[in-house]
Amino acid sequence: LKINAKAGDNLRSLLMHNHAAIYGDLHRLDQPNLTGNCGGEGICGTCLVQILQGMDHLNKIGPQESSMLKGRPESWRASCKTVVGADNKEGTTLRIRLHPWVLSEAQDSSNMMRYP
């Protein structure tokens, strides 16, 4: 999946607008007995992605996202709190992995995003 993005775009919104399957029957971090998402409020943890390339072109992790990512690999981000193109460099590529906790060879392991 290739997505064109503009500096300042929210990663979750970009993925959803381009029909990327960022949600499914995923258990929430804030309410483990429930599935679904929190609508981008940054509390459920179901939109986590792994950044495979381009981490330096994203906004810095804020306190809310930091608490959600505690104990997880440094390459993970909450897509609802991630802004792409924070440095506004043309032609940058961002590669991500959806559902990084699911290790499946059948899953498309990366999605590419470019912003002009």
pLDDT of 104 > 50? The answer is: no
pLDDT digits (tens, 9 = 90+) for 50-92: 999 999 889 999 999 999 899 999 999 999 999 998 666 677 7
Q: CA 4 to CA 61: how far, in whole Å?
A: 22
Indicate the residue type of 92: T
* pLDDT at residue number 66: 94
The strand pair at 111-115 and 2-4 is best described as parallel
Task: Specify the pTM.
Answer: 0.78
pLDDT digits (tens, 9 = 90+) for 73-84: 999 999 999 999
Q: What percent of the chain has pLDDT over 70?
A: 72
